[in-house]
Amino acid sequence: MLYLILLALIVGGVYSADITEGVALVRPNDLAAHPNLGGYVTFKQVSATSLAGGVTVDVSQLTGVPAGRHGFHIHQFGDSSSSEKVGGHFVPLCSMRRALDDTPITGGEILTCGDAALNRDCKCDEIHGFPPSAKRMPGDLGNLDCTADGCLLCFTGDTRQSGCAAVKTLEQEKMSLSDVLRSVVGRSIAIHKRPDTTPNITQFGLGDAGPAIAFGTIGITAPAAALPPATATSTSGDTNVAAPPGKPKAEKTICIFRKNVGTASDGGVNQDIEGRAIVSIDLSKKLAGATDYCNMRVEMYGVEQGVKSFHFHDHGDLRYGLTSNAEL
Ligand SMILES: [Cu+2]
């Protein structure tokens, strides 16, 4: 009996309340070209207490992505207002040297990056590649393979018939939702126009996937209890301990408001509102002991006249907004 109770405690402790989750609502960069591109992608850290086991990515809820293969990455920054603002592929700890110049990566350097299950050497993180190899930037997620039925995620050698799947796990401890050093919270995901075709990781390159057709910013998933029934898919229980990046410390954050996809009749509301809110910290003021070191600037368009309430909310789970009657 004691054994059973202990087992229940262990299982409950790991899998009920502490799994860390993130979710990115995806929006097209050209609403006229892709009026139905939407949905969301979820990220779940397999272990609540360590990076071992990796992060599971679920693309099953993406909709309206054009048929074919599309490069799929996490990018460095959460400002999804342009391809320049999202930065390069997510590389949390190492120099971005290889993303900024044409320095070829030699075979010798490649040899120092083993293809073992775990390899955190910077040389492994700076090289563009495909999972499941360890020789890839942490933001390299492979390709999406989409049809009218939806999208699958594909790694090296995968085909739609064999290997590609709606839910796949990224290993090698390259990203996290609980570790501030490797956190993907607040970063952007990008769906590109063309396939990521990195056949040879010995050459510099980011895969020739072309421009991004859609972005989404990864936010902390709301606990299931806080979500409207239609979107209550989180298994986090009452808490979600996903953590935003801690290093380098951010002095400025931005929230991009994008026009909604869909029509009012299928749940799309406030379709004319767009803009951004920027919160920044004046470090010189803060270090000098001033109390007015935090500034906020809001640029919004399409809001009907009148007084509107404006809040920060607990989570970054924008599926809240998919239900027009959600009162928050
Ligand atoms: Cu990309």
Count: domains in the chain:
2
More confident residue, 177 or 19: 177
Give me 327's structure tokens. 């009162």
**Shared domain check, 196 and 304:** no
Q: Do 143 and 195 touch, CB atoms closer than 8 A?
A: yes
**Distance in Å, CA 81 to ligand 1 centroid:** 14
Neighbours of 200 (CB within 10 A): 8
**Distance in Å, CA 139 to ligand 1 centroid:** 8
Is 60 exceeded by the pLDDT of residue 4? no
Q: Is residue 94 part of a domain?
A: yes
Give the pLDDT band (50/70/90) at residue 60: very high
**Shared domain check, 144 and 70:** yes
Work out the average pLDDT over 81-97. 81
Domain hosting 308: range is 252-322
Q: Report the C-alpha gap between 170 and 280 in whole angstroms.
A: 33
Work out the average pLDDT over 277-302. 91
Is 60 exceeded by the pLDDT of residue 268? no
More confident residue, 69 or 13: 69
**Shared domain check, 101 and 158:** yes
Q: Is residue 144 part of a domain?
A: yes
Give the pLDDT band (50/70/90) at residue 297: very high
**Distance in Å, CA 215 to ligand 1 centroid:** 9
Q: Is residue 12 part of a domain?
A: no
**Distance in Å, CA 268 to ligand 1 centroid:** 27
Alpha carbon of 204 to those of 72, 86, 94, 127: distances in Å? Answer: 18, 20, 16, 8
Q: Report the C-alpha gap between 218 and 239 in whole angstroms.
A: 17
More confident residue, 128 or 183: 183
**Distance in Å, CA 86 to ligand 1 centroid:** 9
Enumerate residues with CB within 5 Å of ligand 1 (an ion). 73, 190
**Shared domain check, 138 and 261:** no
**Distance in Å, CA 50 to ligand 1 centroid:** 27
Q: What is the mean pLDDT of the chain?
A: 79
**Shared domain check, 220 and 109:** yes
Q: Report the C-alpha gap between 42 and 186 in whole angstroms.
A: 13
User: What's the pLDDT score for residue 112?
Assistant: 56
Work out the average pLDDT over 86-106. 64
**Distance in Å, CA 278 to ligand 1 centroid:** 24
Work out the average pLDDT over 248-255. 83
Neighbours of 288 (CB within 10 A): 9
**Distance in Å, CA 72 to ligand 1 centroid:** 6
**Shared domain check, 184 and 81:** yes
Work out the average pLDDT over 218-235. 67
Q: Is residue 9 part of a domain?
A: no
User: What's the pLDDT score for residue 207?
Assistant: 77
Q: Report the C-alpha gap between 40 and 63 in whole angstroms.
A: 8
- For residue 121, the domain's CATH number is 2.60.40.200
Q: Do 139 and 96 touch, CB atoms closer than 8 A?
A: no
Which single residue is written with the structure tokens 């290093």?
247
For residue 111, give the 3-state DSSP assignment: helix
User: What's the pLDDT score for residue 9?
Assistant: 38
Q: Do 87 and 262 touch, CB atoms closer than 8 A?
A: no
Q: Do 236 and 21 touch, CB atoms closer than 8 A?
A: yes
**Shared domain check, 190 and 161:** yes
Neighbours of 174 (CB within 10 A): 28
User: What's the pLDDT score for residue 74?
Assistant: 97
User: What's the pLDDT score for residue 1?
Assistant: 40
**Shared domain check, 141 and 283:** no
**Distance in Å, CA 107 to ligand 1 centroid:** 25
